[in-house]
Amino acid sequence: MRRMAIVLAAGQGKRMKSKLYKVLHSVCGKPMVGHVLDTVKNANCERNIVVVGHGAAAVKSYLGESAEYVLQEQQLGTGHAVKQAKSLIGNEEGTTVVICGDTPLVTSETLEALIQLHESKGAAATILTATLDNPKGYGRVIRDEDGSVLRIVEQKDCTPDEDAVQEINTGTYCFDNAKLFAALEQLNNNNAQQEYYLTDCIAILRNEGNMVQAYRTADPAESIGVNDRVALAEAERIMRERINLRHMIGGVTFIDPASTYIEAGVTIGSDTIIYPGTVLRGTTTIGTDCEIGPNTEISDSIIHDSATVKYSVLNQAEVGSNTTVGPYAYLRPGAKLGEHVKIGDFVEVKNASIDDGSKVSHLSYIGDAVVGKNVNIGCGAITVNYDGYNKSITEIEDDAFVGSNVNLIAPVKIGKGAYVVAGSTITDSVPENDMAIARQRQENKPGYAEKIRARAIEKKKQNEQK
């Protein structure tokens, strides 16, 4: 049977008090509507329609061609929103999931179970429910003796017996598509809000003699709809716990999961250790047997097997196997390290490749450079890559030695096996196996320091008299 999904993403979200459209607020690095769309796709929904309204352009820009779109120009209720999809799937046969774009914690496993129950029972509609210790504010699900749903009763309309029911409506549904759109045509807005409610379709279908089922999720967190920053933080916490749990089950060690922040798109190999204060973002990939952290932030980067990164920041960088980075290093976009490379404390690398076995141990800047194998770059050495208008490349070939406090003025090339003496400022290329020294011979002037001090004191007196 064909599966379809309608994602409701037209509401403004005033309680977020934000310039950013509600469903575009991120949970663990991904906008909420992105999580929801991934969920319905993973539940094998073939056509996925997103109902947009406020912020339509921004939602379309983010989701691109991954979904179809319909516009709800006026927000006249959830039933009215679903009805906008009639032009796309109103004549289709199959199963349609209706889900809100601000419910990022619903899982594809739960959605699959909901659909399977719906289809196996031949139901006209199936409601995703949850059991809450404190169901205040939620619509109660009232079941018949056979377990089918009689009705959904809103909190304000509950009798004392209904108010005691702890099973609530999460706002996620499964419908027979043809019966859904037939029921939508019968909706009216005879209510206090003068809106067309999707929940009224349940009563319409039941009154026509159709079966309505409910699937109760084992995880009440899936009922959370994010309407304000408090709920957003709660969703972030729950999803972070889920992500960390998934990695731990996969063989990753977390020293302190509560202080480790990993976004949804990150992958980590087994036997890697994640230390406290680590933040892994975007599409970061960590290999096996790595040590990451403590207090390390890595974004959209690749860390190969057996690498170590501690107290450092990496963004769009690549670290080879058995390479060490940090403490306190900064790898910027385009940094690419080979195997067995050492990047030490207070080293910054930008748009530069450093090949196998090379070392930049401390206090250096390597930018717009190509560094070969087994190169040693001393403390305080830098590539001077920018003249105020253009950036130029520095090349350092295999087995070269660059001493401390060397300035390499790009464009320049240091040949294979060449030796650059500490304190040199190199403006011309150094041929293979040559030694370059570019500093003035030291000259000591006896007693001259006293003359300098005397001049400084005299100048200070003159300034004070003025």
Work out how many domains the chain is built from and give that number: 3
Residues 73 and 159 in one domain: yes
For 179-218, the DSSP string reads HHHHHHTT----STT----THHHHHHHHHTT--EEEEE-S
Here the tokens at position 455 are: 């001049």
Residues 441 and 303 in one domain: no
Would you say residue 331 lies in a domain? yes
Q: Encode pLDDT of 200-235 as tens digits.
A: 999 899 999 999 999 999 999 999 999 999 999 999
Would you say residue 141 lies in a domain? yes
Query: Is 281 annotated as contributing to ligand binding?
Result: no
Containing structural domain, residue 119:
3-223
Would you say residue 265 lies in a domain? yes
CATH number of residue 65's parent domain: 3.90.550.10
pLDDT of residue 146: 82
Phi, psi of 153 (to 5 degrees): -115, 125
What is the C-alpha end-to-end distance of the chain, expressed in Å? 94
Q: In this structure, which amino acid lies at residue 109?
A: E
Query: Is 380 annotated as contributing to ligand binding?
Result: no
Residues 177 and 264 in one domain: no
Catalytic positions are 362
Residues 46 and 184 in one domain: yes
Half-sphere exposure of 296 (CA within 13 A, CB side): 27
Residues 254 and 175 in one domain: no
Q: Are strands 167-176 and 95-100 parallel, antiparallel or unpaired?
A: antiparallel
Residues 399 and 373 in one domain: yes
Residues 297 and 354 in one domain: no
Q: Which residue has the tokens 């999720």?
A: 217
Using CA atoms in the order 131, 134, 137, 139, what is the torsion angle rounded to 10 degrees?
20
What predicted TM-score, i.e. pTM, was given to this entire model? Answer: 0.89
Query: Is 91 annotated as contributing to ligand binding?
Result: no
Cβ neighbours of 384 (radius 10 Å): 18
- How far apart are alpha carbons 191 and 200 in whole angstroms? 11
Phi-psi region of 461 (alpha: psi -120 to 50; beta: other; left: phi over 0): alpha
- How far apart are alpha carbons 201 and 152 in whole angstroms? 10
Residues 195 and 302 in one domain: no
Q: Encode pLDDT of 385-444 as tens digits.
A: 998 899 999 999 999 999 999 999 999 999 999 999 999 999 999 999 999 999 888 889
Residues 101 and 207 in one domain: yes
- How far apart are alpha carbons 461 and 466 in whole angstroms? 9
Query: Is 139 annotated as contributing to ligand binding?
Result: yes
- How far apart are alpha carbons 349 and 369 in whole angstroms? 9
pLDDT by residue for the chain (466 residues), tens digit each?
A: 899 999 999 988 889 999 999 999 999 999 999 999 999 999 999 999 999 998 899 999 999 999 999 999 988 999 999 999 999 999 999 999 999 999 999 999 999 999 999 999 999 999 999 999 989 888 899 988 888 888 888 888 888 989 899 999 999 999 999 999 999 999 998 877 788 989 899 989 999 999 999 999 999 999 999 999 999 999 999 999 999 999 999 999 999 999 999 999 999 999 999 999 999 999 999 999 999 999 999 999 999 999 999 999 999 999 999 999 999 999 999 999 999 999 999 999 999 999 999 999 999 999 999 999 999 999 999 999 998 899 999 999 999 999 999 999 999 999 999 999 999 999 999 999 999 999 888 889 898 888 888 998 998 888 888 7
Query: Is 69 annotated as contributing to ligand binding?
Result: no
Q: In this structure, which amino acid lies at residue 42?
A: N
User: Kind and range of the H or E element at 120?
Assistant: helix 108-121
Query: Is 154 annotated as contributing to ligand binding?
Result: yes
DSSP type of residue 155: G
CATH number of residue 260's parent domain: 2.160.10.10
Query: Is 350 annotated as contributing to ligand binding?
Result: yes
